[in-house]
Amino acid sequence: MTGKIRPKLLLVTIIFLFIISGLFWLDRSLARQAYESSNTPTPVPGRTYIYFGDYYKELPRSAYVSRIIVPDTIVIHTDDQSGNIPERWNTLTTWYGLEGREGGGRSVHFGVSLDGVAQYLPMFTNAVIQCRGVGLYTDRHSIQIEMGGRTYDYLITGKASPEMEKSIRTTTGFTVKLTASLMEYYKISLENVVGHYKVGLGKSDPGQLYFEQYFLPELEKEIEKRNLNKMELSLGD
């Protein structure tokens, strides 16, 4: 009897694994279809769209608030991608990480990583869609940027591997240029560019040492390069 049952059990096991595998790939396929179908911003009557990213992939509607805001602040985050493989930090991982959190209920306007700048939410000539990134108060008046990776303070403390240091510097370079463009376009002052740790309860990203000793100085250089002054950036206040 035992010899006859085992082949049946083996067959049942194979069928079960085949079904599970099929469901897994179907789920991934549907997720990718949803991702790839979001190349065009959700229409908003009477608004002209503005693009700052290298490509546009809109997050699910559940991830953001259907409210148009006028930004006066920029918040910089990191998304906690693995520090063991910094050479693989990318904006697609950032997108899926946000889409999968809390039922797709978290968002930022941009993801920045080694592959460049991804825009995740609609932005307009004088306003943006409100994201869900920090908390209701800050979200109501801010543009938010998520950089790929983690432990950016390691760049300052000397703990970063050569690969991590290169990834942090590259990602920072893209983010600084994006931030300067947003500051210029929406008339946001340097004083209103802040790290997540500054406005998020219990948050430490992107790292206070990194932000104050590397990011902000690099941003100031970019502002000077573009000949932007405080008067120009404060016209929208």
Are residues 185 and 138 part of one domain?
yes
Are residues 121 and 10 part of one domain?
no
> Which stretch of 23-32, 146-155, 185-194 has the lowest confidence by average pLDDT?
23-32
CA distances from 1 to 4, 6, 15 (A): 5, 9, 22
Give me the DSSP letters along 123-182: BBSS-EE---SS-HHHHTTEEEEEES-S-TTHHHHT---HHHHHHHHHHHHHHHHHHHHH
Are residues 179 and 90 part of one domain?
yes
Mean pLDDT computed over every residue of the chain:
85
Are residues 4 and 111 part of one domain?
no
Count of domains in the chain?
2
Beta bridge partners of 112: 117, 147
Are residues 202 and 168 part of one domain?
yes
**Domain with 32 in it:** 1-37
Q: Is the pLDDT of residue 20 over 60?
A: no
Beta bridge partners of 193: 74
Are residues 16 and 87 part of one domain?
no
Q: Is the pLDDT of residue 32 over 50?
A: no
Are residues 54 and 29 part of one domain?
no
CA distances from 65 to 81, 104, 140 (A): 25, 12, 10
Are residues 53 and 15 part of one domain?
no
Q: Is the pLDDT of residue 9 over 70?
A: no
Are residues 155 and 65 part of one domain?
yes
Contact yes or no for 60/137 (Cβ under 8 A):
no
pLDDT band at 13 (very low <50, low <70, confident <90, very high): low
Residue 70, SS3 per DSSP: coil
> What pLDDT digit, counting tens, does each position of 41-56 carry?
666 667 889 999 999 9
Buried b / exposed e along 34-46 (16+ C-beta atoms within 10 A): ebeebeebeeeee
Q: What is the CATH number of the domain that holds 147?
A: 3.40.80.10
User: Is the backbone peptide bond immediately before 71 cis, with ω within 30 degrees of 0?
Assistant: no
Rounded CA gap, 108 and 127, in Å? 15
Beta bridge partners of 111: 118, 146
Are residues 125 and 73 part of one domain?
yes
φ/ψ (deg, to 5) at 74: -125, 125
Determine the average pLDDT of the residues in 139-149.
98
Pairing of β 193-195 and β 73-78: parallel
pLDDT score, position 66: 87
> What pLDDT digit, counting tens, does each position of 91-124 carry?
999 999 998 766 657 999 999 999 999 999 999 9
Are residues 130 and 67 part of one domain?
yes
Are residues 110 and 169 part of one domain?
yes
Rounded CA gap, 26 and 122, in Å? 29
